Amino acid sequence: MKNFVGIDLGTTNSAICSYDGSETRIWKSPEQNDVTPSAIYIDRRGNKYVGKRAYDSAPHSPDNSAMLFKRVMGTSTPIQLSAVNLTKTPEECSAEVLKVLFGYLPEEIRNDPDTGTVITVPAAFNQMQKDATMQAASMAGIGKVALMQEPVAAVMSVMRARNTDGMFLIYDLGGGTLDIAIAESIGGRVNLLAHGGIAMCGGRDFDRVLVDNVVRPWLLEKFDLPEDFSVNPSYKSLIRLATWATERAKIELSAREEVVISLSETETRVRDLSGDEIYLDIQLKRETYDNLIAERVAESVNSAREALNKAGLSPHDLERIVFVGGPTNYKPLRDKVAYELGIPGNTDVNPMTAVAEGASLFAGGCSKFCVSELQINMSV
């Protein structure tokens, strides 16, 4: 049976899905997770790790690690791994992630010359960024590749789940960027009517707000640290570890009203100016987090309203908001956005895998779905 592959190459997490003409399947990482962190770690012996192990190692050895390289795709910005004296391009880093994802597939799919692969890109990607994504796929040894826009892929997932047409607002909040798109499905045909977003607004920016406003003041109060320790090279690993612990706690807030941002002395392995071992033990309430991200959420709502205005539509014209991306697993954020826009939220698809699933459906050229050629970006 012929298979088709969809890849969501994300800023912080990536996913791969296949479609056999009747069912989609997300291929899990070795840790049995639906998504794989878009992270690379190279140790001093030259051993290379991609995925969760790389993500978990990065806070302890930031100079051995590469992350968030999608943000600079299509630019000349070098990715430095100074601890191992290596410099990579964003395309080379993305190729490493693509190779690992493709390796999750069974050999019969990987080696089938008829296997077609669709990789998704943000709607706002320019031609240089699209070309860079194609270059990464070539470096990864993936043949027969096409690109399609992430919001279109998300709508295709919703269409499959709901088996209905409609007008949708895609609110794609990833680790690094916010993408907003207005898409219409008529008779199974998806048209992208308008798009917008914020280039540097994502889960990592929410983490930074927490670190700056909660973690940093707590550390200055509890330990003997220089005022500028957050930009002091001597405490670089501490900041990375604190950010890692903060993200971990933030994710727990999806299910709990209060969590603890915690790191033991053994985990930090850092002392303050007085020689005391540094640790983290910070209570974080959902209310505090909501207040700290309120401004960025308001900006995202304004971005969505701008996209609606571009399309000449009002909230009453839309069927649903399709929430995509890890940070939208946080229900208070979904509720706030839906309330402010006056549009019901959609929970029919998995925010973490919807884009990859939609891409695999398109790769299959399923007769049930047709996407306007003007609304996708294909290169075979």
pLDDT in tens, the chain (380 residues): 578 999 999 988 999 999 988 899 999 999 999 999 999 999 999 999 999 999 999 888 888 999 989 989 999 999 999 999 999 999 999 999 999 999 999 999 998 888 899 999 988 789 999 999 999 999 999 988 999 988 889 888 888 877 677 899 999 998 878 989 998 888 767 888 998 888 778 888 999 999 999 999 999 999 999 999 989 988 988 998 999 999 999 999 989 999 999 999 999 999 999 999 999 999 999 999 999 999 999 999 999 999 999 999 999 999 899 999 999 999 999 999 999 999 999 778 899 999 999 999 988 874 344 443 334 433 32
Q: Is the dihedral of CA 188, 192, 196, 198 positive or negative?
A: positive
Backbone φ and ψ for 133, nearest 5 degrees, come out as -65, -40
Write down the pLDDT at residue 376. Answer: 41
Residue entry with tokens 């990864």: 140
Query: Which of 213, 231, 215 has the alpha carbon at shortest distance from 223?
Result: 215
Gyration radius (Cα) of the chain, Å:
21
In the numeric block, which tokens belong to residue 62?
């930031």
Q: Which residues of 285-323 are buried (b: 16+ CB within 10 A; e: fewer)?
A: eeeebeebbeebbeebbebbeebbeebebebeebbbbbb
- Strands laid side by side in the 166-173 sheet: 345-346, 320-324, 166-173, 178-186, 189-198, 370-371
The residues spanned by each domain of the chain are 4-165+349-375
SS3 content of the chain, % helix, strand, coil (to 5): 45, 25, 30
Residues shown for the chain = 380
> How many CA atoms does the CB half-sphere of 138 hold within 13 Å?
9
Cα–Cα nearest to 58, from 116, 12, 98: 12
The Cβ of residue 138 has, within 10 Å, a number of other Cβ atoms equal to 14
Q: Could you tell me which residues come within 8 angstroms of residue 274 by beta carbon, excluding any fewer than 6 positions away?
A: 223, 224
Spatial distance between the Cα atoms of 230 and 233, rounded to a whole number of angstroms? 8
Question: What is the structure's pLDDT at 302?
Answer: 96
Give pLDDT, residue 371: 41
The pLDDT of residue 368 is 40
Q: CA 227, CA 238: separation in Å to the nearest integer? A: 14
Q: Where does 4-165+349-375 sit in CATH, by number?
A: 3.30.420.40
